[in-house]
Chains A and B, each alone.
Chain A
Amino acid sequence: MDAASTQSRRLTHLGTRGLDVIRYIGGMALLLQETARAAAGVLASRPHRASAAAHLARQVVRLGIRSVGIVALVQFFVGVILALQMAPPLEPFGYVSMVANIIGVAVFRELGPLISAIVLCGFAGASIAAELGAMVVGEEVEALEAHAISPVRFLILPRLAGTVIAMICLCVVADLAGCLGGYLSSLLVIGPAAHLGYWARIAEQLTVGDFLTGLIKAGVFGLILGLLACFEGLRVRGGAEGVGRATTMTVVYTIISLVLVDCLFTVLFFVCKL
């Protein structure tokens, strides 16, 4: 009797949590839909287009430029580490030269987008959530609405488009930095077998598909991290404490979703042989 009621309570709890998750995702989907509608509206009206382009440029600079250095640095060292970790197991088979191929695939298809997204989430995601949260607390978002200026068009659209574009650009930088890291450790540590013809082997290994799947992933990651940050920011209630919570939650939720979505992508690409 007692055990049964405990169990049913647990089930109820689980059900409530499940509903919360569904509601959360639904809320984000609605925000995305509204943003898409706002984007269509902006594209259709000439005066809005000009001011939106200026807003977008400002966001891309603000979100992207600050992260370029860190993304390049992190990805460079990931390249260094990866090359050094892969060389010993390849050695006995006489395949040390394959370090280049491995770096190429790993960086372009996987690590470039993922690591750029995690860095950008720390920089841009947290900052967007904090900024929007502070705007909600300061009645700024309400003020926009009261002035008949859509907060989605004015605040969310440039930030979301900004994170997508910044992610795609950062991903290209990250790809190059990662390969460069691999090259330098081949040159300085591993030896001629690895570094002679390094770039040629990368070029030979990689297809346009590898490059494009990386960029598609980067764009989707940018969308996810931007959407989560905007959603958390807009949800803020109850002052400064709420703003702090929103930034933390943005980073946590983004990293979880990035890895989940990355896994989905990888399975999809694997099955479709992309």
Chain B
Amino acid sequence: MIDKADSLLDAPVAPAAAAEAPPPAIAVVDLVSVLDGRPVLDGVSFDVPRGKTLVIMGPSGCGKTTLLRHLIGSMRPTRGRVELLGHNLGELAERDLEAVRRRFGILFQSGALFNSMTVAENVALPLREHTRLDAATIDVIVKMKLELVNLRAAANRMPAEISGGMKKRAGLARAIALDPEVLFYDEPSAGLDPVTSAEIDQLIIDLTDKLGVTSVVVTHEMDSAFRVADTMVMLDEGKVLRTGARQEFQLLRDGPPTGDRASDLIRQFLTGSSHGPITDRRLSGGYADDILMAAGRAGRPLWTGWR
């Protein structure tokens, strides 16, 4: 069934695009990632064309953050490959990987600010490390980036003194400090109020439209997903359930149940319904056993295995 869904959607997109369009900013080909003996990602493939925004969705623990870690080269694939800006990340030496890393930015789930530095110093760090700009110029750039995320007033505060939403915006200012070509966002609007969340979405859209940045956004917030996405990927248990344009997913969300399990699973996720294949699976014994087994293998209590 999943095969059918794959061929249905891949057929019109992949071959035609490969023939004419310029090479994509990101290409993931049959990516497999085995962690603690368990395939956390299992044959994931997709492309992100330059200047477009891809949204990755999926239930908690389905491997979204792990996928991002592969996209930025901080994990190496067990099998398959990840190409970023024309480089196969798995084959790069550490030094070349660093060169690629200067060309993208990432906003981590928690913001991941360096707690020992002020907000402004956080944003300045990549500039200090990777450019030969003098302190005054760096200062100006930092102010500009903070202005962009509406955070100039907090420039001299420490991360511990600002709210979660401010941390994420500061993290975003740091991610764009070096004017990256590609931006990754791990759940940018999780835990934010609707207004701040909408502001961040607008920022993602602006960066794409005005600067031509390619973006990959992992998100749970469906409003946010449909606002920013050009294309979408639905992950489930480490596999791609479906990739497609935003409109296809919109149709799926607004349409009636189809009876096709994959479609209904996606539909349940998109509408946030408490009835459907996702909940059915959770209630069945096999799934619970699976989780317990996985936690046992990881050698730690179940509740610490989740990120």
Contact = CB atoms under 8 A, between A and B. Distances in A.
A interacts with B: yes
A192 interface: no
Contacts of B74: 142, 145-146
B115 interface: yes
Question: Which 4 pairs of residues, A with B, have the shortest CB-CB distance?
Answer: A148-B101, A139-B112, A143-B112, A238-B304
A273 interface: no
Contact of B98 (A47, A135, A148, A241): A148
A139 B109 contact: yes
A139 B126 contact: no
A51 interface: yes
Interface in B58-74: 69, 72, 74
A138 B115 contact: yes
A113 to B, nearest CB: 30
A146 B72 contact: yes
B118 interface: no
Contacts of B128: 51
A252 to B, nearest CB: 20
A149 interface: yes
A149 B126 contact: yes
B101 to A, nearest CB: 4
Interface size band for A: 20 to 34
Contact of B130 (A51, A134, A148): A148
A45 to B, nearest CB: 11
A143 B114 contact: yes
A260 B114 CA distance: 36
Given A139-B108, A139-B112, A146 B101 contact: yes
B304 A239 contact: yes
B110 A139 contact: yes
B261 interface: no
A149 B112 contact: no
A140 B72 contact: no
B129 A147 contact: yes
B101 A147 contact: yes
Contact of B106 (A140, A143, A149, A239): A143
B106 A241 contact: no
Interface string B226-252: 000000000000000000000000000
A143 B159 CA distance: 15
B38 interface: no
Contact of A147 (B99, B125, B132, B300): B125
Interface in B3-58: none
Nearest to A143: B112
A272 B180 CA distance: 59
Interface string B102-146: 101110111011110000000001101110100000000000000
Nearest to A153: B129
Contact of A140 (B98, B99, B115, B130): B115
B76 to A, nearest CB: 13
Contacts of B105: 146-147
Nearest to B128: A51
A228 B236 CA distance: 39
A57 B72 CA distance: 33
A78 B305 CA distance: 47
Contacts of B115: 134-135, 138, 140
Contacts of B300: 237-238
Contacts of A241: 304
Contacts of B101: 145-148
A138 B304 contact: no
A166 to B, nearest CB: 18
Report which residue of A143, A144, A237, A241 has the largest number of chain B beta carbons within 10 angstroms of its beta carbon.
Answer: A143
Contacts of B130: 148
30 contacts: A135-B115, A138-B112, A139-B108, A139-B109, A139-B110, A139-B112, A140-B114, A142-B69, A142-B74, A143-B112, A143-B113, A143-B171, A145-B74, A145-B101, A146-B72, A146-B74, A146-B106, A146-B108, A147-B125, A147-B126, A147-B129, A148-B98, A148-B101, A148-B102, A148-B129, A148-B130, A149-B129, A150-B98, A238-B300, A239-B304
Contacts of A148: 98-99, 101-102, 126, 129-130
Nearest to B300: A238
B23 to A, nearest CB: 22
A51 B129 CA distance: 10
A188 B216 CA distance: 75
Nearest to A149: B129
B66 to A, nearest CB: 12
B304 A142 contact: no
B196 to A, nearest CB: 20
A143 B186 CA distance: 12
A140 B171 CA distance: 11
Contacts of A47: 132
B247 to A, nearest CB: 32
